[in-house]
Amino acid sequence: MVLKNCYIYDEVTGKEKLVDFLVDEKITAVKEELAKTISIENKITIKLSELNRTNIEEINAHSEKYILDCEGMITIPGGIDPHVHFDTPGFTHREDFYHGSMSAAAGGVTTVIDMPCTSLPPVTNGKNFDEKFAAIKNESVIDFGLYGGVCANNFEKFAQAMEELAAKKVRGFKTYFVSGMKTFPQVSLSQFEAILLKAKELNLPVLLHAEDSKIVSEMTKKYENANDDYLRYCNSRPAQAEVTAVANAIEIAKRVEGNLHVVHVASSEAAELLNQVGKEYFVTYETCPHYLFFTEEDFISKGSSLKTAPVVKSKKDQSELWKYLEGGNCSFVASDHAPAPLNEKQTGSFWKDYGGIPGAQTLIPVVFSEGYKKKKLSLKRFTEVVSTNAAKRYNLYPQKGSLRVGSDADFAIINSNISWKFETKQLLSKGETSPFDNELLTGKVVLTILRGKIVYSDSAGITGEKGYGKFLE
């Protein structure tokens, strides 16, 4: 297939430009006006507006015959969402790998990395990894990696378990400073230090949920019975919980020269601490679309559809996070996709409502609309924070996150001029609520291509097959 007239940020020249791609499973050539030099005999040119289920099936079966004209669109390497909870096996009433992967594909994401803590058994040793892998290997529409995890259960065997998981090609080790999950309890600071040391030996990052357990439990005791509303919940997880946890993690990571990635940073003060860590240390962080789009005040209209941990913060936190994202301190945006059914999201008590958002489908649209279209992010930076940087951090680059010759032919193609209203009913996830419901966005993902096959189009929906997505070793 030839993708013609693709407007891209070219990482090789550092410029925005118009190019054509020749692709099979991989990108085989990239050139300006390449389409003109290729024999068009027997080749059929199709505009994106002409795509429908019938011709997509034909294109996917005989892609060498087709030229897709992407004129007027913005093209980026397929999105990478390196923080999802797809819950298979064990919590599939909330989400499963098939629905989660379709939802991500509809948002321009071609690769996800799934967390180890929200499946049963949790992915905490080689045997558990095998159980999880057997359950998901034929489920995904898009490519996927997996994290291993280390929690306080069976901690005495953590070193051997981490070795087993590294041999299974996990992308890193997730751990928590505060966790409400019985199947995945938080670790102490000394356990965290031991995990960082072991991960360093295995040449893998440790991913940390950084909120301080002492602050969260004290504040929860203080507020949980006071009054059942969102402000009490916000007060129970103050920015200080993030700041303290991040400060502790940085201190330890520096001391042992650990490889640390802090997930879902919501507080600008915590982010600022991370910004100050010298480049000689391998310490990075991500933020999420909800922290970039909402503030505490939005709970009034959004209710617990917006409930997450950490909780969304103030206008100041939000604007600082955008600055750190554009400036390069914050490495990328991840969705922390974690849906739940209505009966768990709306229990009648804000305290008991499940915390988590089905965010993989809205990740790229939200960052594009709020970031690129509102000129907070250049096309270069947008491309990096939704694709390239996560690929680099998790050792998937340049197979993923790149538009170079030899990279997988993964693309997200965005119509930059469509303004549209996102509605929860558009979710392909099992999730039944989204804080982005009824929000106006500019720029829509119209086509998602994974290894040369169209897996999603705005006009035909999901066209990728269950099981096409493969595990990234």
Q: How far apart are CA 456 and CA 450, in angstroms?
A: 9
CB of 366 to Zn ion, least distance (A): 17
Pick the closer one to Zn ion by CB: 336 or 353.
336
In the complex, what is the shortest distance from the CB of residue 166 to Zn ion, in angstroms, rounded to a whole number?
A: 21
Closer residue to Zn ion in complex, CB, 3/115? 115
Specify the residue, 35 or 338, whose C-beta has the smaller distance to Zn ion: 338
Please check whether residue 143 is in contact with residue 111, taking contact to mean a CB–CB distance below 8 angstroms.
Answer: yes
Nearer residue to Zn ion within complex by CB, 336 or 458: 336
Least distance to Zn ion, CB of residue 24, Å: 35
Q: Is 286 in the site for Zn ion (CB under 5 A)?
A: no
Closest approach, Cβ 252 to Zn ion, in A, equals 21
The distance of closest approach from Cβ of residue 174 to Zn ion in the complex, given in angstroms and rounded to an integer, is: 8
Please state whether the peptide bond connecting residue 398 to the residue before it is cis, i.e. omega within 30 degrees of 0: yes
What is the C-alpha to C-alpha distance for residues 147 and 171, in angstroms, rounded to an integer?
Answer: 5
Burial of 315 (0-12, 13-18, 19+ CB in 10 A): exposed
Closer CB to Zn ion, 209 or 381, in the complex = 209
Residue nearest to Zn ion according to CB distances in the complex: 336
If we measure between CA atoms, which residue out of 22, 40, 20 comes closest to residue 32?
A: 20
Nearer to Zn ion, 179 or 433 (CB): 179
Output 147 or 422, the one with its CB closest to Zn ion. Answer: 147
45 and 4 Cβ atoms separated by less than 8 Å: yes
Q: How many residues bind Zn ion (CB under 5 A)?
A: 1
Given the DSSP bridges, would you call strands 66-69 and 148-149 parallel, antiparallel or unpaired? unpaired
Find the helix or strand (DSSP H, E) in which 67 lies.
strand 66-69
Q: How far apart are CA 137 and CA 141, in angstroms?
A: 10
Q: 156: Cβ–Cβ under 8 A, 6 or more apart, which residues?
A: none
For residues 307 to 336, the per-residue mask of contacts with Zn ion, x marking binding by CB under 5 A and - elsewhere, is: -----------------------------x
Q: Which is nearer to Zn ion, 336 or 439 (CB)?
A: 336
Chain-centroid distance of CA 15 in Å reads: 26
> What's the min distance (Å) between Cβ of 431 and Zn ion?
14
Q: Distances in Å between the alpha carbon of 301 and those of 188, 230, 294, 305, 310?
A: 37, 11, 11, 10, 19
Q: How far apart are CA 437 and CA 393, in angstroms?
A: 31
Minimum distance from residue 115 beta carbon to Zn ion (Å): 5
Least separation in angstroms between residue 280's CB and Zn ion is 28
Which lies closer to Zn ion via its Cβ, residue 336 or residue 344?
336
Q: Nearest distance from residue 117's CB to Zn ion, in Å?
A: 8
Report in angstroms how near the CB of residue 84 gets to Zn ion at its nearest.
Answer: 8
Please give the span between the terminal C-alpha atoms of the chain, in angstroms, as a whole number. Answer: 26
CB contact at 8 A, 444 and 422: no
Binding mask 336-355 for Zn ion (x = CB under 5 A): x-------------------
Q: Side-chain half-sphere of 83: how many Cα atoms within 13 Å?
A: 27
Where in 365-404 is the site for Zn ion (CB under 5 A)? Answer: none
Q: Which tokens belong to 201?
A: 């030996």
CB 178 within 8 A of CB 186: yes
What's at 152, amino acid-wise?
Answer: A
* Residue nearer to Zn ion on the CB measure, 22 or 309: 309
Residues that bind Zn ion (CB under 5 A): 336
